[in-house]
A and B are shown apart, each in its own frame.
Chain A
């Protein structure tokens, strides 16, 4: 019994440390990109086009992960691309979480007409096809970082609202809510002091999941050329460019793809790891 618990704990700890470690690495890359990147991510050199990564033949020293068809250094572009990815993940993820979780909490706990209005809004919202909706939004707002963030928030708040509403509703039926009322706590006080701590673990898991999704959405929008201007290196943009020359230079596609994959995976695992580590009920 005690052994099994320790095993679960160790595994949870490993998950937390691996995912937090990778995200710390990406964050360090984003912060220090101008200083640690070996080359200018935009510098083109047609004589150094499609250099393979360092372990293959015909490389040039200093270009660790090779170059793309315009001779730009892949590693430097990945490091710089981490900036956009992280900014989008953190800002869009947090805003989506704040708006969605607040509406979900209000609907699930207060019920009545508040729930009616918010639930109908969620139903209508979810009937829009998300990709078309975001393309439409960006067409209206014009491409750019802010537009991407707005598009993600506008589309994804329902993800939070739905789950948090259901969770708040289940918690609202518990006797500790009735007990808070007998003690004389106000409705809003009960929502914040009693319900919120019980919904918080779910919110944290959703938040980190959403950060991963935000990175993917940014990559998808870059892929269809609706993200930042093509001058700024983004992972999605690199994948789009790499796709055209995948038979001649696979590394231009594969390295940003692997980075993207690991980052999204790390975000989703971070939430679960944090929950396992800090939720008092799981201690």
Chain B
């Protein structure tokens, strides 16, 4: 059994509070409709889908920020789908998440040192400040960043702090939810190559969620395409790019912006 994460028949619905009647329960929106897949140890899986496909909901369910309505999530053989927050706590250091918008996911009134050391202290990691410095080095930020606040850094630097916080715990599994979509193209490339290197160095298993196939192509071994809450494609990257089966995949492929350089470009 080398599957680190196994999802079977995952359903998730959330109450739609906008349409809640005066008396009684709000109607529920069905977001994930029976999702099955597994991620093997050491694998980098890209999860793509257009907006409203449920990919961010899936990301939050994988780290149990949301509780599935039906189906199971097995992490390293253990069923975590309905564990209470207290029961999850010791497991939490093994699966981490990097969020889309670091401006929101980094506490604006904490320093970078506090942001990275916070989770370490929670799990009684020895020498949290050493580990914090290691993590800063690993993401290519100097020690001088330790005393800065998030608003004193650029977008790319902030997202590196988000990555440093996740890897400092030395987790087995990381979910990265649209982590480059808020960055400019050159920072995107830098953050991606950083992530590529870290995954290789630390032997991480990664679920990389994005709406952009061109970002995924470079990083992932396997691609899962999500459309309206169901998986429409789950295949090795090359196969998805060469022979896309689902219409949703073809649509996503068509939306990749390719630089069209004319023959006379050099002149």
Q: Scoring A residues 186 to 208 as 1 if CB is less than 8 Å from chain B, else 0, what string do you get?
A: 11010001100110100000000
Decide if B96 touches A197 in the complex (CB within 8 Å). no
A279 nearest in chain B by CB position: B109
CA distance A175 to B63 in the complex (A): 14
CA distance A181 to B65 in the complex (A): 8
User: A129 contacts which chain B residues (CB < 8 A)?
Assistant: none
Task: Return the contact of A280 from the options B63, B101, B109, B118 (Cβ within 8 A).
Answer: B109
Known contacts A178-B99, A179-B99: A184-B109 contact under CB 8 Å: no
User: Chain A 156-196 against B: per-residue CB contact (8 Å), 1 yes, 0 no?
Assistant: 00000000000000000011101111111111010001100
Instruction: Indicate which residue in B88, B107, B151 contacts A194 across the interface (CB closer than 8 Å).
Output: B107
Q: How far is the CA of A228 from the CA of B57 in the complex (A)?
A: 61
The interface residues of chain A lying within 8 Å CB-to-CB of B140 are: none
Q: Which partner residue on chain B sits nearest A195 by CB separation?
A: B107
Q: Is the CB of B107 within 8 A of A197?
A: yes
Tell yes or no: B71 within 8 A of A by CB.
Answer: no
How many interface contacts (CB-CB < 8 Å) are there between A and B? 73
In chain A, positions 247-283 with a C-beta closer than 8 Å to chain B are 279-281, 283
**CA of A191 to CA of B21 in the docked complex: distance in angstroms?**
31
Separation of A279 and B165 alpha carbons in the complex (Å): 24
**In the complex, chain B residues whose CB is within 8 Å of the CB of A178:** 60, 65, 97, 99, 105
Task: For chain B, residues 143 to 170, give those with C-beta under 8 angstroms from any C-beta of chain A.
Answer: 149, 151-152, 165, 169
Per the bound structure, the CA–CA distance linking A132 and B111 in Å amounts to: 48
Q: Is B92 an interface residue (CB 8 A)?
A: yes
Of residues 66 through 91 on chain B, the ones whose CB sits less than 8 Å from some CB of chain A are: 85, 88-90
Cα–Cα, bound, A179→B161 (Å): 13
What 0/1 pattern do residues 92 to 123 of B give for CB contact below 8 A with A? 11001101110011111111000000110011
Contacts of B60 in A (CB 8 A): 178
Assembly CA distance A281 to B153 (angstroms): 12
Docked-complex contact B92 and A182, CB < 8 angstroms: yes
Q: How far, in Å, is B135 (CB) from chain A's closest CB?
A: 13
Residues in A whose Cβ lies below 8 Å from that of B119: 183-185
B110 near A197 (CB under 8 angstroms)? yes
| B contact set with A: CB distance below 8 Å | 60, 63, 65, 85, 88-90, 92-93, 96-97, 99-101, 104-111, 118-119, 122-123, 149, 151-152, 165, 169
Leading 8 A-B pairs by shortest Cβ distance: A183-B119, A175-B105, A184-B92, A175-B104, A197-B109, A176-B107, A184-B89, A175-B99
